[in-house]
Amino acid sequence: MLQISTRAGAMPASPIRKLVPYAEAAKRKGIHVYHLNIGQPDVETPPAILDAVRNADIRVLEYSHSAGNESYRRKLVEYYKKVGIDVDHNEIIITTGGSEAIMFGFFTCLNPGDEVIIPEPFYANYNGFAVAAGVGVVPITSHIENGFALPPIADFEKVITPKTKAIIICNPNNPTGYLYSREEMEALKTICLEHNLFLFSDEAYREFCYDGAYVSALHLDGMDQHVVLMDTVSKRYSACGARLGAFVTKNKDVYGAAMKFAQARLSPPGLAQILGEAAVDLPDSYFDEPKAEYQSRRDLLVSRLNAMEGVFCPNPGGAFYAIARLPIDNADTFCQWLLESFSHNNKTLMLAPATGFYGTVGLGKNEVRLAYVLNKQDLSAAMDCLEAALKVYPGHIPLSSTTEHAVTF
Amino acid sequence: MLQISTRAGAMPASPIRKLVPYAEAAKRKGIHVYHLNIGQPDVETPPAILDAVRNADIRVLEYSHSAGNESYRRKLVEYYKKVGIDVDHNEIIITTGGSEAIMFGFFTCLNPGDEVIIPEPFYANYNGFAVAAGVGVVPITSHIENGFALPPIADFEKVITPKTKAIIICNPNNPTGYLYSREEMEALKTICLEHNLFLFSDEAYREFCYDGAYVSALHLDGMDQHVVLMDTVSKRYSACGARLGAFVTKNKDVYGAAMKFAQARLSPPGLAQILGEAAVDLPDSYFDEPKAEYQSRRDLLVSRLNAMEGVFCPNPGGAFYAIARLPIDNADTFCQWLLESFSHNNKTLMLAPATGFYGTVGLGKNEVRLAYVLNKQDLSAAMDCLEAALKVYPGHIPLSSTTEHAVTF
């Protein structure tokens, strides 16, 4: 009998996608499903960047340089300059989405058996890359009560061992929407310098900060050798399907090592690079509209949620996610029930149970992640559904015991 | 001091690309370099498939399904049917180039410490994926004297241990151009069934078989649970830059496990999938022209090489590569010397030293790989350069001792 590998067995199924069959079944029954479960923006991809692909003069669609087209990397240098990051084109490797940049980080900097510390809840796919790389994920818990702020330095120090090699942050954060302050970024710097750790900084949502200033890991003085930036155009330009990201580091050893992984897979997607290069030439004002749109959606979402009995949702400072605590027994059961057994005016909504974003088993059981990637009318209708659902959900937990419940976590 | 990972240190640099700086230096000196070093075809990408991308109606470039668009997978079922492979769209995962399909195979089927047997010389990047996955590559040597035919079953059996989990073949072969016969494929089947091994079959060059019939691993009866097909559109449609491949298996456990890796990286490139889907609708006659072109190039290349004193090049049955034995001391030195110290009418050529394609250290020292990806006029001019170079190369080894030398290896 042929066996799959142990690591394949250990790979987590996507917590975002595992409810998909239930959503498909609901749709087959004629129920409209509002998708707040996945970070797929509905914002239009800028036509100008799609036109750049349409108008490209291609005779042979050739391999690009393994680090990506030099012209695109040079363009990205301009882009990074605009956001206060000073890098050279030889410090950038173009990747297949932010995903590949994360993978390069794991394989380049970490040995099997090494550990990375990640504030939880965190982007669930870090788990997948960690399993693939044989690396242990050590979560430290951030809490809904203070909006998922960075845990105190003492919490990091409690779990640092000789195996600890890196800290991973996502800023602004997926799934919490939390935007790390200058002080929090400086705290991370202190830990990384003192304990000689890499800082993997996933900044996929950089353009979407609503309250407070965005501080990149590459804004931190003295951290050049420690920082690996993982970036993507997916959310920035609403171009998730392009699969175009970047691995950025000033550490020459890390860069050189990552280039060997980049060479093994030959080159990043070619058509997408044309799109990415054109995107840097979009006017700076391009972001005004999507950012204002996301912000107004956030405001609508958070106020609707907090107006529901027993619901608490901190106000996220960035990205387009929020985590809400609901008066429910079990988020996985609830999210499945929404799709399987509930509808309101023939509509329902799909949410991501927060359990999948925690590394600590048992956490997030009464929390869900909501991606505000729908227009306000649909978002409002989705909130109507949620409000109605909470009133009839069999596993509803009344307010007082919910509060108690929340304290437990 | 921050350290890169051990596996990153162990990652081989690309043998195909490591001479690039010397080629760049030659070009800066005004010397024209004929690139026979890399499998980047000069054949035009079919305009119809680029037009499909140009004309696609895209409002939001969204993530696709992690397995790739269902419409594209269903189209690929039609394509595979044409080449005698009967698969369902739920047995296909669309990948980022053939590279990702290879990676999924390693990570899904093999544990760290497991071993794969690969007839050498072999596609060098298998080494990279093996290092990333912590898997040991066990080469068994095929020989230039019989055109790099499959080594006898006894050679496989000599190296099979309890750690052996898979055999990897590339058919038709990169770098040798060898096309495995029905009998050789049946021999592989016998070994895999007897020793319970996976057969990873990289069939990137399927369309380019000149002598004898192509036999896919999925043509073998009774091997459904053993075969993982690694495929790509790169060479088929001269679309290397698209980064579009496929992982195909009828083994449901392997498919399910690979899907978890596919979900972790979200989705394959979106624009490329449009191109790939359109490609299946190209008329069957599309391949006639590139195939005839490659075949006539092969004929030119092989006859020119064998007409040179001390040179031997077996006639490859497929793909667009040939390995030639040259009357030289050291292929790495020679290939660098061609770029650094030689020119003929202000021209030179870039070749891939065969050493990088052998797993056994010391083999391939007087062999080079030539990719016949240039038009016949350029190919002929490149052969003029090579002929002239061999006459003046300081490390030239006269015919008699070369023959001796060849016997040594």
Q: What is the pLDDT of residues B61-112, one digit of tens each?
A: 999 999 999 999 999 999 999 999 999 999 999 999 999 999 999 999 999 9
Query: For residue A69, is it within any domain?
Result: yes
In whole angstroms, what is the distance from residue B97 CA to residue A232 CA? 19
Task: Report the run of H or E that residue A303 belongs to, with start and end.
Answer: helix A288-307
In whole angstroms, what is the distance from residue B109 CA to residue B129 CA? 13
Q: Which two tokens stand for residue A127?
A: 């788990």
Instruction: Print the domain residue range for B235.
Output: 47-281
**B23 and chain A in contact, CB less than 8 A:** no
Is residue B143 predicted with pLDDT exceeding 80? yes
In whole angstroms, what is the distance from residue B89 CA to residue B37 CA? 36
Q: How many residues does chain A have?
A: 409
How far A285 CA sits from the closest chain B CA (Å)? 19
**A261 and chain B in contact, CB less than 8 A:** yes
Query: For residue B292, is it within any domain?
Result: yes
Residues B367 and B276 in one domain: no
- Over residues B318-346, the mean pLDDT reads 97
Which tens digit of pLDDT belongs to each residue from B189-226?
Answer: 999 999 999 999 999 999 999 998 899 999 999 999 99
What pLDDT band is residue A399 in, cutting at 50, 70 and 90? low
User: Residue B218's pLDDT is what?
Assistant: 98
Query: For residue B304, is it within any domain?
Result: yes
- Over residues B30-59, the mean pLDDT reads 96
Look up residue B172 and give its DSSP letter: S
User: Residue B96's pLDDT is what?
Assistant: 98
User: Residue A109's pLDDT is what?
Assistant: 97
Is residue A14 predicted with pLDDT exceeding 80? no
How far A408 CA sits from the closest chain B CA (Å)? 31
- A117: which strand partners? A138, A167
Residues A222 and A235 in one domain: yes
Say which of B243, B260, B261 has its CB closest to residue A269: B243
- Over residues B383-395, the mean pLDDT reads 97
In whole angstroms, what is the distance from residue A32 CA to residue B271 CA? 28
Note whether A107 contacts B132, CB cutoff 8 Å: yes
Note whether B66 contacts A14, CB cutoff 8 Å: yes
Residues A300 and A270 in one domain: no
**% pLDDT > 70, chain B:** 97
Give the CA angle between residues A194, A198, A199 to the nearest 5°. 100
**% pLDDT > 90, chain A:** 93
Residues A141 and A175 in one domain: yes
Spatial CB neighbours of A103, under 8 Å, sequence gap ≥ 6: A129, A132, A133, A261, B265
| Domain CATH for B248 | 3.40.640.10
* Domain count within chain B: 2
Residues B276 and B292 in one domain: no
Query: For residue A364, is it within any domain?
Result: yes
C-alpha closest to that of B175 among B122, B125, B234: B122
**A97 and chain B in contact, CB less than 8 A:** yes
Query: For residue A293, is it within any domain?
Result: yes
Spatial CB neighbours of B343, under 8 Å, sequence gap ≥ 6: B26, B31, B385
**A241 and chain B in contact, CB less than 8 A:** yes
Note whether A125 contacts B268, CB cutoff 8 Å: no
Residues B188 and B326 in one domain: no
Note whether B63 contacts A41, CB cutoff 8 Å: no
Task: Provide the pairing of β-strand A164-170 with A115-120.
Answer: parallel
Note whether A107 contacts B8, CB cutoff 8 Å: yes
Which tens digit of pLDDT belongs to each residue from A200-220?
Answer: 999 999 999 999 889 999 999
- Over residues A297-311, the mean pLDDT reads 98
User: Residue B39's pLDDT is what?
Assistant: 87
Note whether B13 contacts A260, CB cutoff 8 Å: yes
Q: At residue B170, what are phi and psi to the nearest 5 degrees?
A: -125, 120
Say which of A11, A38, A41 has its CB closest to residue B261: A11
Residues of chain A found within 8 Å of residue B269, distances taken between Cβ atoms: 96, 241-243, 269, 271-272
- Indicate the residue among B281, B308, B334 that finishes a domain: B281
User: Residue A406's pLDDT is what?
Assistant: 41
What pLDDT band is residue B38 in, cutting at 50, 70 and 90? confident
Angstrom distances, CA of residue B365 to CA of A321, B117, B332, B352, B405: 57, 22, 8, 11, 10
Task: Report the run of H or E that residue B51 belongs to, with start and end.
Answer: helix B47-54
Residues A181 and A216 in one domain: yes
Residues A239 and A293 in one domain: no
Residues B195 and B123 in one domain: yes
Say which of B58, B109, B263 has its CB closest to residue A4: B109
What pLDDT band is residue B400 in, cutting at 50, 70 and 90? low
**Residue B29, SS3 per DSSP:** coil
Query: For residue B1, is it within any domain?
Result: no
In whole angstroms, what is the distance from residue A177 CA to residue A31 CA? 29
User: Residue A407's pLDDT is what?
Assistant: 38
Is residue B404 predicted with pLDDT exceeding 70? no
Which residues of A, range 378-397, sit inside 8 Å of B by Cβ? Answer: none
Which residues of A, range 270-289, sit inside 8 Å of B by Cβ? Answer: 270-272, 275
**B57 and chain A in contact, CB less than 8 A:** no
Which tens digit of pLDDT belongs to each residue from B357-379?
Answer: 999 999 999 999 999 999 999 99
- Over residues A340-346, the mean pLDDT reads 97
Look up residue A135 and give its DSSP letter: P
What pLDDT band is residue B409 in, cutting at 50, 70 and 90? very low
In whole angstroms, what is the distance from residue B100 CA to residue A265 CA? 7
Pick the more confident residue, B407 or A228.
A228
- Indicate the residue among B233, B264, B281 that finishes a domain: B281
What pLDDT band is residue A39 in, cutting at 50, 70 and 90? confident
Residues A277 and A329 in one domain: no
Residues A258 and A305 in one domain: no
Which tens digit of pLDDT belongs to each residue from A359-373?
Answer: 999 999 999 999 999
Which tens digit of pLDDT belongs to each residue from A97-108?
Answer: 999 999 999 999
Alpha helical stretches, state H, B55-94: 70-82
User: Residue A400's pLDDT is what?
Assistant: 57
Note whether B271 contacts A53, CB cutoff 8 Å: yes
Say which of A13, A132, A267 has its CB closest to residue B241: A267
Q: Provide the whole-model pTM.
A: 0.95
What is the chain A residue with the closest CA to B6? Answer: A111
Q: Which of A20-24, A234-238, A272-276 has the lowest mean pLDDT?
A: A20-24
Query: For residue A361, is it within any domain?
Result: yes
Is residue A129 predicted with pLDDT exceeding 70? yes
Say which of A42, A59, A260 has its CB closest to residue B8: A260
| Domain CATH for A366 | 3.90.1150.10
Q: Which residue has the tokens 């075949």?
A: B295
- DSSP symbols for A320-331: TEEEEE-SBS-H
**B48 and chain A in contact, CB less than 8 A:** no
**A174 and chain B in contact, CB less than 8 A:** no
Alpha helical stretches, state H, A17-112: 20-28, 47-54, 70-82, 97-109
**B7 and chain A in contact, CB less than 8 A:** yes
- Indicate the residue among A263, A281, A299 that finishes a domain: A281
Say which of A41, A239, A264 has its CB closest to residue B129: A264
**A243 and chain B in contact, CB less than 8 A:** yes
Please, are residues B245 and B230 in contact by the beta-carbon 8 Å criterion? yes
Please, are residues B366 and B329 in contact by the beta-carbon 8 Å criterion? yes
User: Residue A404's pLDDT is what?
Assistant: 42
A92-95 sheet: strands from edge to edge: A92-95, A245-249, A227-232, A198-202, A164-170, A115-120, A136-141
Q: Which two tokens stand for residue A114?
A: 């090494």
Is residue B408 predicted with pLDDT exceeding 60? no
Residues B276 and B390 in one domain: no
Is residue A312 predicted with pLDDT exceeding 50? yes
Query: For residue A1, is it within any domain?
Result: no
In whole angstroms, what is the distance from residue A249 CA to residue A200 CA? 10
User: Residue A307's pLDDT is what?
Assistant: 98
Is residue A403 predicted with pLDDT exceeding 60? no
**B195 and chain A in contact, CB less than 8 A:** no
Q: At residue B126, what are phi and psi to the nearest 5 degrees?
A: -55, -35
